[in-house]
Amino acid sequence: MKSKIVLLSLVALFSYFVTIGKETGKKPQAVIEKDVKKEPRGKDNVAFQWGFMALEGTANDTDRFKPRPTITSRYLGLIFTSMFDAWTRFDKKASPVYLSNVERRPADERTLKNKEIAISYAAYGALCEYYYSDSTMFRNKMIELGFDPDNKSLDPNTPEGIGNLAAKKVIAMRKNDGANQYGEVAGSNGEPYFDYSGYTPVNDIDNNVDINRWQPKYFIDESGKKYDPGCLTPYWQEVTPLLIETADQFRPGPPPMMGSEQLQREVKEVIDLQAGLTPENKALVEFMRDGPKSVQQAGHWLKFAQDVSLRDKHTLDEDVKMYFLVESVAMDGFIACWDSKMFYDFARPYALVHKYYQDEVIKAWGGPEKGMMEMKGKEWRPYSPDSFLCPPFPSYVSGHSTISGGCAEALRLFKGEDRFGAEVELVPGALTEPNNLDDPVVLKFPTFTEAAEMAGISRVMGGYHIQAENIEGLELGRKIARYNYKKYLKLLGDQ
């Protein structure tokens, strides 16, 4: 019976039940109102369908390479930039990010069909570059849509050529952007995403010599063996941002340090929140930790954006613009977040709890199948499976909070309101303690802002972050979203 409940809970992760809201936006001109009503909307518009393909590619990338949220945020940012750039050539005033020397098409060519063709070739080209292992899946999607995936035209006077050019230009412009995608940075020896920064933690995996600094922790692989995953992309702050100016543009002030009343108070808060986890809290921690179909934070908020498209029956134009804005914030958010993480190199609660409460008896979660119990502080652990005790990189600020705060703000600005209305049913414990499950619960996300704040506090409840990392992360993300939104409006020609 329990295995059946686990299966149902995992299936539930993939499904949102979004309230249907009224359509928003300006009414079309009367002369074209009849045609607009016929335009495919929501899941039927081609931009939505390519967004779904991007989510499938992200989920498969996670399965193949394990979670690497920095990298997938860049992929999604550049995929939707390619689509946006191609789309601008069929809009009356929008400008591209990278697609230079390609003229805007005349008014009589700015048809829905031409937009569908252009963004499809742009999406296909970018997806095959960044999620190359799934090129056959993307090829089949082109054929399903009635397009020739072998059409490599670079004719700037055709929608096929414009789409191919858009993807080609984005790929070329971002080839040497600091991500080391191709392992071409000196010393990488052809290894993609090789750390060229030379970062070495002050604390090694077995010895903590500076409690204020990050200490890596062991992971456990499928065979039960311990291993050190190293630090994930410790050079990511060197990646060229998409719309913000520099990685440190909005860098927050320092975290509370050992000896401060604030840190002592916030470490105790982590212990207390874990000790009081309700079934709803557990479900929230798991949902925000893993996300729908393991698509990382950038993909999680792309899924939320798709829920909005379904709710409001978006057109192709609306989805192209929304996905570009949201994923630009996610991409830039990770770059800025990593700037803070690597600049401060701050400790995780895992080490801080052990330091503050070493031999003191506390109530805490004992691990899978053990539930809550009394233990010494030095035995405390986050609410996580053995295979993933805590993220393999410094703590300050929270990546979940940064991306959630930013993408939520981007959606609020895009829609002109905060209403969201998504719901998801989950079985608490399914991803962490599958033999100790609670009854199903329903998580509700009434507004974008509340969804972001729920994501942020879940990281404190789970034991991955202290409150300062959540609060500063949310604010960092919101600053990036407001800045990118202004840039986005200029690209649209609205400012």
Percent of the chain with pLDDT over 70: 92
- 37 pLDDT more than 60: no
- CA-CA-CA-CA dihedral for 388, 427, 467, 327, to nearest 10: 80
Q: pLDDT digits over 224-242, tens only?
A: 888 888 999 999 999 999 9
Q: Are 474 and 457 contacting, i.e. CB atoms less than 8 angstroms apart?
A: no
Q: pLDDT digits over 76-85, tens only?
A: 999 999 999 9
Cis previous bond, 397, omega within 30 = yes
* Structural fold of domain 45-198: Vanadium-containing Chloroperoxidase; domain 1 (1.20.144)
| pLDDT at site 292 | 66
Residues in Cβ contact with 56 at an 8 Å cutoff, skipping those fewer than 6 apart: 134, 137
The torsion angles phi and psi of 290, rounded to 5 degrees, stand at -100, -35
Average predicted confidence (pLDDT) for the chain: 92
**Distance of alpha carbon 349 from alpha carbon 308, whole angstroms:** 35
- 493 pLDDT more than 50: yes
Kindly list the domain boundaries of the chain, sorted by start residue.
1-25+250-495, 45-198
* Structural fold of domain 1-25+250-495: Vanadium-containing Chloroperoxidase; domain 2 (1.10.606)
Q: Are 394 and 467 contacting, i.e. CB atoms less than 8 angstroms apart?
A: no
Q: Do domains 1-25+250-495 and 45-198 have the same CATH topology?
A: no
346: DSSP letter: B
Percent of the chain with pLDDT over 90: 85
Q: Mean of the pLDDT values across residues 451-465?
A: 98
Q: pLDDT digits over 168-212, tens only?
A: 999 999 999 999 999 999 999 999 999 999 999 999 999 999 999
Q: Are 310 and 55 contacting, i.e. CB atoms less than 8 angstroms apart?
A: no
Q: Which residues pair with 445 in a beta bridge?
A: 422
pTM: 0.92
**Distance of alpha carbon 177 from alpha carbon 371, whole angstroms:** 46
From residue 305, how far is each of 160, 309, 319 by CA, in Å?
A: 27, 6, 9
Which of 5-9, 65-69, 329-333 is predicted with the least confidence, judged by mean pLDDT?
5-9
184: DSSP letter: -
**Distance of alpha carbon 221 from alpha carbon 209, whole angstroms:** 27
| pLDDT at site 30 | 41
- Determine the Cα angle at 236 with ends 343 and 339, to 5°: 25
Q: Is the torsion defined by CA of 471, 293, 138, 310 positive or negative?
A: negative
Cis previous bond, 329, omega within 30 = no
From residue 357, how far is each of 61, 256, 269, 364, 379 by CA, in Å?
A: 39, 18, 13, 12, 9
